[in-house]
Amino acid sequence: MSKNVQIMINKPFWLTKSSLGFEQSRQFPQLDSKETVDICVVGGGLIGNFIAYWLSEMGISVVLLEKDLLASGSSGRNTGFILPGTVEHFNRSMTLHGKEKALAIWKFTERNFDQMLGIIKDESIDCDLQENGSLIVASSKQEDIELKESFVHLSASGIQVDLLTSSELEKKFKSDQFFGALKTKVGAGIQPVKLVNALSKILSSRNIKIYENSPVLDICEYESNSLQIVTEGGTVDCAMAVLATNAYTSQVISGFDDLIFPFQGQAFVTEPFPSSIFDEVVYANYGFEYWRQLRDGRLMIGGFREKDGQKGEGFSTEVNSELIHGLYDYFYQLFPKVERVPISHAWSGTMGFSKDGLPIVGNTKMPHCFVCGGFTGHGLGFASAIGELTAQVMVNGKGDASELFHISRFDGG
């Protein structure tokens, strides 16, 4: 039935005129000269922009180089959730990392949330912020048990969370498909490209030079304590560099194939739906599927990575229309009373999954070249705080909670 639903535009919605008011296009020149700065940031997504933001707060001179356009990577292709925690439910995070570390990671993401919203408000950034918390819904009895276990540990640690029963969810959504839910106070939806563009304007006003269409081709240890970053049109001489290239890190520097690997994610948005159904951003089926409703009523839905088998691995950003149609059907099966509206835009993006599901911050085999990546589908949940942490690690050798994400955890295998 959904095969009849036409996908109107194969383009990430956030980058289009319908969402931005203009088509995202080049805002900064290509590098065609030699620059000399303290630090070169490679990658013009959310993370590169936040790292540059925090470095500039410390008075460091920075050049930012982007291969294509700002936000042309995953930062312009996500669904815009700022969530607490990691890709795993909290009970699983405790099993994987131990309770103390799992809690420290959760608190780090809560700090990120406060920091991001603080910057958005202080800098008067219009990025369509919808600040209504998140709902993690259970798609099976087992998932409900795990969410209840997560609730017990989180609330005992003073984290603001609530449980919703299946009948409360049935009343809220007119759907009997959910077994329960964990509601977190922390959680919001944004238009991520508006945020990237606004950050880049702040950087420009601080005399940070940004270059687009300037792929980094090589990084040379130029002298004992400096680097030369090479692009086709020019070079940047710097004391340090940081790769904010997430999924693409292994294309820029060797040694990262097993640490950060590319994984494709699919998403779509519908035409505006006339009534309000979802306030919170919603994460379902262990986070494999997720949806939200935008201010204008559009329903934005992502996921089905698990239906893609091995094919999801790799750098392709081709839309998989079979998965998009499957996702559309999946959504309306969950909400049979919701009238179907056509898909307006569908797209895919390349996420950078790390070996252990946690971000990776630290130096590469070149001591002055750092990396910050591997967000495993949760980059917005870390963006500002991990940008600040990376700036601290580069400048001071360590930062608040740097042990949580330091690359040295992989030393020795």
Ligand X SMILES: Cc1cc2nc3c(=O)[nH]c(=O)nc-3n(C[C@H](O)[C@H](O)[C@H](O)COP(=O)(O)OP(=O)(O)OC[C@H]3O[C@@H](n4cnc5c(N)ncnc54)[C@H](O)[C@@H]3O)c2cc1C
Q: CB neighbours (10 Å) of residue 22?
A: 9
Q: Which stretch binds ligand X (CB under 6 A): 218-226, 246-254, 322-330, 388-396?
A: 246-254
What token pair was written down for 269?
């948005």
Beta strands 81-82 and 188-189, pairing class? antiparallel
195 contacts ligand X (rule: CB under 6 A)? no
Q: Is residue 373 involved in binding ligand X (CB under 6 A)?
A: yes
Whether the Cβ atoms of residue 329 and residue 5 lie closer than 8 Å to each other: no
Comparing CB distances to ligand X, the nearer of 48 and 180 is: 48
With tokens 């997560």, the residue in question is 150
User: Token digits for 226?
Assistant: 């400096």
User: Of residues 380, 386, 391, 404, which one binds ligand X by CB under 6 A?
Assistant: 380
Helix, coil or strand: residue 193: helix
The Cα–Cα gap between 177 and 362 comes to: 43
Under 8 Å between Cβ of 270 and 335: no
Smallest distance from ligand X to CB 176, Å? 26
Rounded distance, CA 53 to CA 388, Å? 8
Report phi then psi at 100, rounded to 5: -60, -45
Among 41, 62, 65, 358, indicate the residue that binds ligand X (CB under 6 A): 65
12 part of the interface to ligand X, by CB under 6 A = no
Residue 216 is a binding residue for ligand X (CB under 6 A) = yes
Please, what is the minimum distance in Å from the beta carbon of residue 97 to ligand X? 19
Among 377, 385, 391, 401, binds ligand X (CB under 6 A): 377
Which residue lies nearer to ligand X by CB, 75 or 91? 75
Number of chain positions touching ligand X (CB under 6 A): 41
Residue spans of alpha helices (H) in 174-257: 192-205, 249-252
**371 within 8 A of 408, measured Cβ to Cβ:** no
Residue 384 sits in the site that holds ligand X (CB under 6 A):
no
Residue pair 320/214 in contact (Cβ under 8 Å)? The answer is: no
Report yes or no: 348 and 314 within 8 Å, Cβ to Cβ: no
By CB under 6 A, tell whether 133 contacts ligand X. no
Q: Does 228 bind ligand X (CB under 6 A)?
A: no
Contact status: 349 vs ligand X (CB under 6 A): yes
Helix locations, 314-368, DSSP H: 321-334
From candidates 53, 248, 256, 286, binder to ligand X by CB under 6 A: 248
357, 381, 387, 399: which one binds ligand X (CB under 6 A): 381
Pick from 53, 54, 81, 90: which binds ligand X (CB under 6 A)?
81
- The 3-state DSSP class for residue 163 equals strand
CA 300 – CA 243 distance, rounded (Å) = 30
Residue 120, token pair as written in the block? 């958005």
Tell me if 69 sits within 8 A of 25, measured CB to CB.
yes
Query: Tokens 């986070």 — which residue?
Result: 287
Q: Which of 47, 51, 181, 327 binds ligand X (CB under 6 A)?
A: 47
DSSP state of 377: T
If binding is defined by CB under 6 A, does position 305 make contact with ligand X? no
Nearer to ligand X (CB atom), residue 267 or residue 401: 267
x-marked contacts with ligand X along 85-124 as a string, rule CB under 6 A: ----------------------------------------
List 16, 41, 52, 80, residue binding ligand X (CB under 6 A)? 80
Closest CA to 102 of 112, 113, 91, 110: 91
Q: Which of 5, 44, 150, 153 binds ligand X (CB under 6 A)?
A: 44
Q: Does 215 bind ligand X (CB under 6 A)?
A: yes
Q: Is 42 in the site for ligand X (CB under 6 A)?
A: yes
- Map residue 306 onto helix, strand or coil: helix
What amino acid is encoded at 298 in this protein?
R
**Block residue for tokens 């669904």:** 79
Query: Does residue 375 belong to the site contacting ligand X (CB under 6 A)?
Result: yes
Task: Determine the 3-state secondary structure of 281 from DSSP.
Answer: strand
Instruction: Name which of 166 and 319 has its Cβ closer to ligand X.
Output: 319
Select the span of 15-23, 76-84, 104-112, 117-125 touching ligand X (CB under 6 A): 76-84
| Residue 78 touches ligand X, criterion: CB under 6 A | yes
x/- map, 253-282, ligand X, by CB under 6 A? ------------x-x---------------
**Residues of this chain that bind ligand X (CB under 6 A):** 42-48, 65-68, 72-75, 77-81, 215-216, 244-248, 251-252, 265, 267, 302, 349, 351, 373, 375, 377-381
